[in-house]
Amino acid sequence: MKETVQFHCVSVLSALSVLLILMTLVCSGQANNLEEPEKTVGAGTNLSPHSPIHIKGNGEFTSVNGVVSGSGTQSDPYVIEGWEIDANGGTYCIWIENTSSYFAVRNCTLKNTTATSESPYGCGILLTNLTNGSVDSNNVSACYISLGVGNSEKISITANTISSSSYAVIIRDSTNCTLYGNTIKSNVYGVRLDTSANNTVEKNLVTGNGAWGILLYQTCDTQVMDNNVSDTVLQGIWLCGSNNNTILYNTIINNTGYGVYIEENSTGNQVLYNNFINNNGAGKGVSGKCQAYDDAGNNSWSFSFGTIKGGNYWSNWDGNGWGTQSAYPIDGGAGASDWYPLSGPVSETSTFPIHLLAAITLLFIPRLLPGRRSHHSIA
């Protein structure tokens, strides 16, 4: 893989990917199901101690480096499993770089790294310049960065518990990665996607973190769906210089700052069918504190498709002004508003409403027209 990753965030692809996701939810009936996915053998069960592991290429997936099975193919990945690695203040626990073989890191306990100014940065797990990796059912704690991904693609991060670290997860310069069903709690910073595209953050429990729960920084065409983001010291979900992302079906609750905070230069984002509950010290009525902030404009907080209309659920909406700009004004300089607040919370067990699929399709129609491309490059 090249050291420099460059790609174009084409809105057409964003639209099609969102529609495919929505149609999958319709067919499966699993929208907004926040249950944690079933785990295999959990980290901490019958673990053996191991020294820190550094794999620098395909040829270093060996038993000495903690590989217990596999041949590196898609059907038979190399497996690093069942280890307890205490860095004891060192700079990493597991560091894998410059590989294309399929591999999995699973059911390990990793802890106690110290920050450095260059690679491996004090990571519990660091994956750089690689493809085709999975990280699942690990327990990572007390690290400077619990899990770092850089200049990589097709990385799956599933059902891990990440806690008590400075940074929980950083995904940088990467594409087609999935962060699914993880518990991310009590870190100084939560999840950060940085100069990346076409990633998915789904069904994670992100709670009790500091500056943010989920931050998208210069990131596009990413789906943030079905997450529970709660008790963050500052903002729940934060967008900075990030375009054409989908914030859908999240429960955003009891964050000290705003539930969703969109800074200037972040446009084309869809914020729909989320539950906003008691964020930013929200009081009842539009004269109370708003639970969201938009300083950019050209983002969608509600939709209207003929007689079918909808937006988000706000715990402090007073029921007045529905269908007007004054229904639920959004803080910030954009003059944004949720014109069609929902009357009750989106149920965790409800199926995705087919009318919302139709409405979002309408929202994306302008992006499908020729000449409406947005280009974003990452170096």
Yes or no: say if 346 and 274 are a contact pair by the CB < 8 Å rule. Answer: yes
257-303 pLDDT tens trace: 999 999 989 999 999 999 999 999 996 555 579 999 999 999 999 99
What residues contact 7, with CB distance under 8 A and at least 6 apart?
175, 197, 377, 378
Q: What is the number of other CB atoms lying within 10 angstroms of the CB of residue 24?
A: 12
Assess whether pLDDT exceeds 70 at residue 159: yes
Residue 350 burial by CB count (10 A; 0-12/13-18/19+): exposed, middle or buried?
Answer: middle
Residues 5, 118: Cα–Cα separation, whole Å: 19
Query: Average pLDDT for residues 92-109, to the nearest whole number?
Result: 98
d(CA 91, CA 83): 17
pLDDT class of 42 with cuts at 50, 70, 90? low
Nearest Cα neighbor of 280 from 288, 267, 289, 269 is: 289
- CA angle at 99 for the pair 98 and 103, rounded to the nearest 5°: 140
Over residues 22-50, the mean pLDDT reads 55
Q: If DSSP codes are grouped into helix, strand and coil, which group holds residue 18?
A: helix
218 confidence band (pLDDT: 50, 70, 90): very high
Residue 13 or 116, more confident: 116
User: How does DSSP classify residue 61?
Assistant: -
Q: Does residue 26 belong to any structural domain of this protein?
A: yes
Lowest mean pLDDT among 6-20, 95-109, 251-265, 317-331: 6-20
Residue 8's pLDDT is 34
Which pLDDT score, from 0 to 100, does residue 287 have?
54
pLDDT surpassing 80 at residue 192: yes
Residue at 96 is within a domain: no
Residue 58 DSSP code: G
pLDDT of residue 347: 81
The torsion angle over the Cα atoms of residues 266, 270, 272 and 275, rounded to 10 degrees, is: -30
Among 38-42, 155-159, 199-203, 250-254, the least confident range: 38-42
pLDDT in tens, 106-143: 999 999 999 999 999 999 999 999 999 999 999 999 99
pLDDT at position 21? 45
Domain-located, residue 328: yes
Find the mean pLDDT for residues 17-39: 43
Output the CA–CA distances (angstroms, integers) from residue 338 to 26, 67, 223, 253, in the order listed. 24, 52, 20, 18
- The model's pLDDT over 47-79, given as tens digits with 9 standing for 90+, comes to 999 999 999 999 999 999 999 999 999 999 999
Residue 235 Cα distances to 49, 191, 304, angstroms: 38, 12, 28
Q: Is there a domain that residue 363 lies in?
A: yes
Q: Would 1 be classed as within a structural domain? A: no
Residue 281 within any structural domain of the chain: yes
For residues 73 and 98, give the distance between their C-alpha atoms in angstroms, rounded to a whole number: 16
Average confidence (pLDDT) over 218-234: 97
**Is 60 exceeded by the pLDDT of residue 154?**
yes
Residue-level pLDDT at 13? 39
- The 10s digit of each residue's pLDDT in 327-356 is 999 999 999 999 999 999 998 545 455 445
Domain range enclosing 355: 13-36+181-368
What's residue 264's pLDDT? 86
Domain count, the chain: 1
Q: Report DSSP letters for 179-215, one per residue.
A: EES-EEES-SEEEEEES-BS-EEES-EEES-SSEEEE
- Is 258 contained in some domain? yes
Residue 330 lies in a domain: yes
pLDDT, residue 44, reads: 57
